[in-house]
Amino acid sequence: MFSEQVLSGPPQGSPLPDPTDRVTMLLAHADDNMILAQRLGGWISNGPELEIDIALGNIALDHLGVARALYTQAGEIEGKGRHEDDFAMFRDERQFTNLLLVEQPNADFAHTILRQLFFDAYQVPLWEDLSGSNDDSLAGIAAKALKEAHYHLRFSAGWTVRMGDGTDESHCRAQTAADALWRFTAEMFEGSGDAYRSNWETKIRDVFAEAGLHVPEDPYQRTGGRSGFHTSHLGHLLTEMQWMQRSYPGLEW
């Protein structure tokens, strides 16, 4: 596995986040959901059909809601008076610890759906685990997120099958997207044990079998998001997402 961390090393003076730290953990999951929500929001008024436009908007809202709850929780535990907007709007690219997968561009509908499928299949077992947390508040957020993740997975898996098993054009686009995004999937399971990865792959293989898509075999993997090393896409996304709060700090609706 190629890790950007290993290739380039951490920059001087910026310690890597400690993944066992509770706030670090909450922020990583909050960032995943925040960045994906922002990405999905890019589809609003651009969806291929009205129903899909609404579906992607709804999914984005669920992710945004999860992000807000987790940021709030992280702020409370951290105890420095930081609120959700401080985390979402006033941190720089290097301070975001989201997965590289979720910051990848929407590209075409196939890329958006495959990105969603890979992420949903990862979120379901994650929220299953965290809903058993002894932290009641986190368990509650996770229990709700779990119900939503199941629903999202149904949507993303359903569309993967429809595209893979559809026309030559839709099949080709779905396979291209799967191949392009595969290198961002190992990162989801860094430090979480092989069982997670193999359960995830089983789910993906089932969906791909039904869709007539082949599971990429390429072992090349990119990581680094959890340590704040991002692809060039995140900076552009943050610029758009944060400019209003940065220009008018404290602005409220």
CB of residue 143 vs other proteins: minimum separation in angstroms?
4
**Site residues for other proteins, window 68-127 (CB under 8 A)?**
68-69
Q: 70 or 178: whose CB is closer to other proteins?
A: 70
Residue 205, SS3 per DSSP: helix
Helix (H) or strand (E) holding 21: none
Answer for which of 65, 105, 212, 216 binds other proteins (CB under 8 A) is 65
Answer for which of 30, 35, 64, 177 binds other proteins (CB under 8 A) is 64
Interacting span for other proteins (CB under 8 A) from 6-14, 53-61, 171-179, 215-223: 53-61
CB of residue 70 vs other proteins: minimum separation in angstroms?
10
**Site residues for other proteins, window 8-47 (CB under 8 A)?**
37
Whole-angstrom distance, CA of residue 244 vs CA of residue 241 = 8
With residues binned 3-state (H G I as helix, E B as strand, rest as coil), the percentages for the chain, rounded to 5, are 70, 0, 30
59 is a site residue for other proteins (CB under 8 A): yes
Answer for which of 71, 119, 155, 184 binds other proteins (CB under 8 A) is 155
Report the Cα–Cα distance between both ends of the chain, in Å, rounded.
45
DSSP letter at 11 equals: P
Helix (H) or strand (E) holding 215: none
Answer for which of 145, 177, 211, 234 binds other proteins (CB under 8 A) is 145
Cα dihedral sign for 234, 87, 244, 65? Answer: positive
Burial class (CB in 10 A: 0-12, 13-18, 19+), 150: middle
What is the widest separation between alpha-carbon atoms in the chain? Answer: 54
Answer for which of 26, 35, 66, 174 binds other proteins (CB under 8 A) is 66
Cα separation values, 10 from 6, 24, 177, Å: 8, 17, 30
CB of residue 5 vs other proteins: minimum separation in angstroms?
31
CB of residue 169 vs other proteins: minimum separation in angstroms?
23
Q: 69 or 204: whose CB is closer to other proteins?
A: 69
Whole-angstrom distance, CA of residue 241 vs CA of residue 215 = 34
Q: 154 or 205: whose CB is closer to other proteins?
A: 154
Burial class (CB in 10 A: 0-12, 13-18, 19+), 29: buried
Of 128, 106, 125, residue with least CA distance to 37: 106
CB of residue 106 vs other proteins: minimum separation in angstroms?
17
CB of residue 1 vs other proteins: minimum separation in angstroms?
33
166 is a site residue for other proteins (CB under 8 A): no
CB of residue 196 vs other proteins: minimum separation in angstroms?
23
Q: Which residues here bind other proteins, judged by CB under 8 A?
A: 37, 51, 54-55, 57-66, 68-69, 136-137, 139-141, 143-145, 147-148, 151, 154-155
